[in-house]
Amino acid sequence: MKNQWIILLGFAFTLIVAIFAVINVDPVTVNYLFGESSWPLILVILGSVLMGGLIVGSVGIVRIFNLQKQVNVLKKELSQTEAAADKKHGVEKKKKVQTIRENDKPARVK
């Protein structure tokens, strides 16, 4: 349900930006380090929104990657701590061994 709200808000934001951009079609001068050019304001607005989205997305991906790395480190640390605690208290982890007895076998239908 949360993802549906995020998608809905994303569409609403896109619609607002598109309406704002269509209203502002006047040419503007864009200054670069090496010169200047005249572009329609709609392209400047949409380009700025696109660049902002790419920057936010990139930062989000890096953050998620770092958090996943931290989770893996903490899982490893937890398993080592549990193993040390089990060793200290004399608890052995038993492997699950599945045995099949004669009575547990399913009956064959003739």
Structural domain spans, the chain: 2-90
Q: What percent of the chain has pLDDT over 70?
A: 84
Asked if residues 21 and 45 have their Cβ atoms less than 8 Å apart, the reply is yes
Q: What is the pLDDT of residue 88?
A: 86
Say what the pTM is: 0.56
Q: What is the pLDDT of residues 18-65, one digit of tens each?
A: 888 788 889 999 998 889 999 998 888 888 989 999 999 999 999 999
40 forms beta bridges with: 27
Q: What value does the mean pLDDT take over residues 94-105?
A: 58
The C-alpha atoms of residue 42 and residue 23 are separated, in whole angstroms, by: 8
Q: What is the pLDDT of residue 32?
A: 86
8, exposed or middle or buried, with CB in 10 Å at 0-12, 13-18, 19+? exposed
